[in-house]
Amino acid sequence: MKLSEKFERGDSLLKIIVIYAVLIVACVISVYPILNIFTVSLRPTDSLFSTSLAIIPKNATFQNYIAAFQQYELPRWLLNSLLVSSMVAVFSVILSVTAGYAFSRFDFFGKKSGLTMLLITQMFPATMMLLPLYIMLIKLGLNNNYIGLIIVYVSTSIPFNIWLLKGYFDTIPKSLEESAYVDGASIFRSFYQIIIPLASPAIALAALFGFMGAWSEYIVARVLITDADKLTLPIGLVNMQGQFNTAWGIYSAAALVTAVPVMILFVSLSKYLVGGLTLGSVKG
């Protein structure tokens, strides 16, 4: 009796077991590589290269974490990346919230083609924007400058964010603003005071995507930033892993320090992900 309440009606015990088995295998495959970073990060230097598959290695130690912060410039890379990523998140949200609202609520000349243009930007290969911007930034003397990096990241993150937010605004009934107009509020006031608070989950998602995009980007950063002082996390980490033999454990510790904060952010916002993403695509 209780069983039938918790599971789908009419499922046999065997079926339930099979479903769980499949899901557990999938979970193991999905989590294992992340655990692998964790395992390697705990290995002492003398047993870095071991063929053991134990998740917590023998003589587990945090020395790799200490080394990552002391021998390498991990703190500086973290700060640099934090600065760039936060700026990207802020600008990306400001730009995409307003544009998403306009695309959702108003009719204006070029609305349809504007939305299509945004989709088309997703088809640009990485070099499409990077190459001309690189040459333009060299001409302006802005290479090795975060402004260039932030500009590139913001422009790559807003198309997706505008679509995401437009989709979310579409689900907020227009009657809410209309009653605010009747009460004498302006379009801008109702936007700030009614729509923005209601859309906060989607805005949080957009900020997250902006932040994560910048936090995790390697290909553009590698070209634009070459100054040792200005390296961001991705370039620092990849360079570190280049010296595979010596620094594998330290690299893993640093990778975990990098990945865990964004993973926590992502997971805590993931419940909004289901609604937000589909609504965007359904209405599209």
Partner 1 sequence: MQACTRKPKRKRARSSNLQQTRWTPMWFIIPSAIVMALVVLYPLLYEISLSFRNVTLMNIKSKVYPWVGFANYKDILTDGLFYSTLLRTIIWTAVNVTFHVTFGVFLALLLNRKLPGKALIRVLLILPWAVPQYIVALTWKGMFNVEYGAVNIIITKFFGASAAIPWLTDPKWSFIAAIITNIWLGVPFMMMIALGGLQSIPQELYEAANVDGATSWQKIKSITLPLLKPVMTPAIVLGIVWTFNQVNVIYIITSGAASESSQILVTQVYKKAFEYFRYGYSAAFSVIIFLILMLFSTVFIKAQKLED
Q: Which of residues 238-257 bind partner 1 (CB under 8 A)?
A: 238, 241, 244, 248, 251-252, 255
Of the candidates 30, 37, 32, 35, which has an alpha carbon nearest to the alpha carbon of residue 241?
37
Q: How many CA atoms lie within 13 A of 75 on its CB side?
A: 5
Contact 162, 102 (CB under 8 A): no
Rounded CA-CA distance 105/84 in Å is 32
Q: Is residue 267 at the binding interface for partner 1, with CB under 8 A as the rule?
A: yes
**String of b and e for 214-229 (b: at least 16 CB within 10 Å)?**
bbebeebbebbbeeee
With binding defined as CB under 8 A, does residue 32 bind partner 1?
yes
> Of 78, 151, 225, 250, which lies in the binding site for partner 1, with binding defined by CB under 8 A?
151
CB of 113 to partner 1, least distance (A): 12
Binding residues for partner 1 restricted to 117-136, rule: CB under 8 A? 117, 120-133, 135-136
**Least separation, in Å, of the C-beta of 225 and partner 1?**
13
Asked whether 60 and 43 are in contact (CB, 8 A), the reply is yes
Which CB sits closer to partner 1, 107 or 227? Answer: 107
Of 13 and 29, which has the nearer Cβ to partner 1? 29
Size of the site for partner 1 (CB under 8 A): 103
Site for partner 1 in 67-126 (CB under 8 A): 91, 94-96, 98-99, 101-103, 105-108, 114, 117, 120-126
Q: Can you tell me which of 60, 83, 194, 259 binds partner 1, judged by CB under 8 A?
A: 259
Asked if 85 and 148 count as a contact pair (C-beta separation under 8 A), the reply is: no
Residue 256 Cα to chain centre, angstroms: 16
CA distance 61 to 65: 9
CB of 258 to partner 1, least distance (A): 7
What number of other Cβ atoms are within 10 A of residue 247's Cβ?
Answer: 22
The two three-digit tokens of residue 117, written as one number: 């243009």
Report which residue type is found at 239: N
Site string for partner 1, 172-211 (x = CB under 8 A): ---------x--xxxxxx-x--------------------
Among 44, 45, 50, 201, binds partner 1 (CB under 8 A): 50
From the list 51, 54, 59, 227, which residue makes contact with partner 1 (rule: CB under 8 A)? 51
